Amino acid sequence: MQMRETLIAAARSMAGLGINQGKAGNLSLRTPAGMLITPSAIPYEELTPAQLALMPFDAEYGTFHGPNRPSSEWRFHRDIMAARPEVGAIVHTHAPYATALAMARREIPACHYMIARFGGAPIRVAGYALFGTAELSEQVLIALQDRSACLMANHGFVTTGATLDAAMLAAVELEALARQYMLSLSIGGPVLLSEPEVQAAIRQFATAYAS
C-alpha cells in the first residue's frame, strides 16, 4: 500500500507545484508486481489506493488489475518501462509553459546548463498523435532517445526518473526551464551553449551529483 499512497501523494502535489491542473496528466511507478498507474479520468483528490491500476509486465499487453481502467496513456508508460530498464517512474503533465512550447512545436535548445540533467540538447518535441494511442507512444519513445524527458506536440510532456521523486523533480525542473526559455525568447532569445559546453555540463552532473 505504501507505493500506492506515495503515487497518489505525488499526483496530488502536481497542481500546487504548478506543473498540472485539473485531471490532466498521469503517473506510473515500477513495482516488483508490475507497473502501478493512475486510473483514467478520476480526480486525484478522490483517488484511493485501491483504484490505482496494476499492469504486470509478464502478462499480455494491456492486462491490468484493479476496479478502474488505467490511464488512457498506459501504452507510453508501459512502453517506456519496457524499453528503458533504468526508468522506475514516469510523470506526464500538461504544465503550462512546457505545453505552450509543445503547442508551438518548439524544442528546448541548449539555453541553460540544466539541459544536461535531461541527457543533453535539445529536449525534443514528440510528433503529434492522438492521446491514448500506440502512435503517440511510438513518437514519445523516439523523442526520448538518449533523453530523460520530452515535450509532446500540442499536448504536454513526459519526464522519467529512477524513482518517483526523481521523475517529479525532473517535471518541476523541466517546467522551470521552459518558463526561463520563454522569458529569454521575449527579450531577444538566449545565447545557446555549444555542444562541448553541454557535454561538460553532463560530465559535471555525473560527478557533482553522483550518489
Q: Interface residues with ligand 13P (CB under 6 A)?
A: 23-26, 40-41, 71-73, 131
- Given the complex with ligand 13P, which of 71 and 159 has the nearer CB atom? 71
Half-sphere exposure of 35 (CA within 13 A, CB side): 32
Q: CA 191, 196, 197, 201 torsion: positive or negative?
A: positive
- Given the complex with ligand 13P, which of 77 and 117 has the nearer CB atom? 77
- Given the complex with ligand 13P, which of 137 and 148 has the nearer CB atom? 137
Q: Give the three cell numbers for residue 26.
A: 498521469
Give the CA-trace dihedral at 69, 37, 60, 30, to 10 degrees: -170
- Give the integer Cα–Cα distance in Å for 66 and 86: 26
Instruction: Report the DSSP pairing between strands 26-31 and 34-37.
Output: antiparallel
Nearest approach, Cβ of residue 136 and ligand 13P (Å): 8
Place of cell 507497473: 35
Nearest approach, Cβ of residue 121 and ligand 13P (Å): 26
- Given the complex with ligand 13P, which of 42 and 162 has the nearer CB atom? 42
- Given the complex with ligand 13P, which of 116 and 126 has the nearer CB atom? 126
Nearest approach, Cβ of residue 51 and ligand 13P (Å): 12
Nearest approach, Cβ of residue 94 and ligand 13P (Å): 6
Phi/psi of residue 31, nearest 5 degrees: -130, 165
In 3-state terms, what secondary structure has residue 29?
A: strand
186 close to 97: Cβ distance less than 8 angstroms: no
Choosing from 5, 45, 73, 107, the catalytic residue is 73
138 counts as catalytic: no
Q: Give the three cell numbers for residue 83.
A: 524499453
Nearest approach, Cβ of residue 11 and ligand 13P (Å): 10
Supply the Cα-derived Rg of the chain in whole angstroms: 17
Active site residues: 73
